[in-house]
Amino acid sequence: MPTLRLLILLLPISIFANPIRFQRDQINYIYHDTKINETTLEKFHGLFENYYSKTLDDLLAKKNYPLRVEIYTDANRFRADTGLASFTAGMFDAKTETFYFLLTPKTLQEDKLITIISHEACHAAIHSKKLDFYQIPRSLEEGFCYLHYPSETILNRDVSAYSKMGFNEFLSISEKNLASSDKKKREEIYQVSARFIRFI
């Protein structure tokens, strides 16, 4: 398998425009940075390739190659381009079938990165099934992926108020809280939805 350095040397000079585009093992990368950080990209690619495949195998889902993965190392640019909250480090956009990742010293910790990749690959697995006749509510999708690949801090707070809600009310509140910039409100939905998924 060629190293990233050799791969870069073989690509056209236009790769050095920003963003940098290159392909590796059926994965089309868009790297939003002014220079190549080979160590970071090698580490990410190895983990992404392994845990995307493992997650979809675990969930009996079809792999949809080629994949599109956009990588950021600047948090401000990541948030400006994606519109994601400041505490978000990854996303799978089902409409464009694109993965987005923010790689920082914190998220590049191997255990953390494996969890982020696996959680986002879980979303890809759900959408690979093409359940056009029924769209899974986003809160339940997040609950399912959190249950199997927990990407947020486990909360030590009282969430019993959710148990008093009817299902439709819960879905309505969940959608509002998932759109919130309040990390705790979003984490509550992940936690409560995961409990519901486990119960059923």
CA distances from 115 to 5, 52, 139 (A): 27, 11, 19
Are the C-beta atoms of 47 and 114 separated by less than 8 Å?
yes
Q: What's the pLDDT at 59?
A: 93
Q: What is the mean pLDDT of residues 78-84?
A: 91
The pTM score is 0.83
Q: Could you report the per-residue pLDDT of 11-26, keeping only the tens digit for each? A: 443 444 578 999 999 9
Nearest to 27 by CA among 161, 117, 134: 117
* Mean per-residue pLDDT of the chain: 84
Higher pLDDT, 195 or 129: 195
Which position has the token pair 């969930």? 59
CA 144/CA 122 separation, integer angstroms = 8
Higher pLDDT, 118 or 149: 118
**Strands of the 27-32 sheet, one edge to the other:** 20-24, 27-32, 67-72, 98-102, 90-93
Q: Could you report the per-residue pLDDT of 33-79, keeping only the tens digit for each? A: 888 788 999 999 999 999 999 999 999 999 999 999 999 999 999 99
- Strand bridging mode 98-102 / 67-72: parallel
Q: What's the pLDDT at 78?
A: 94
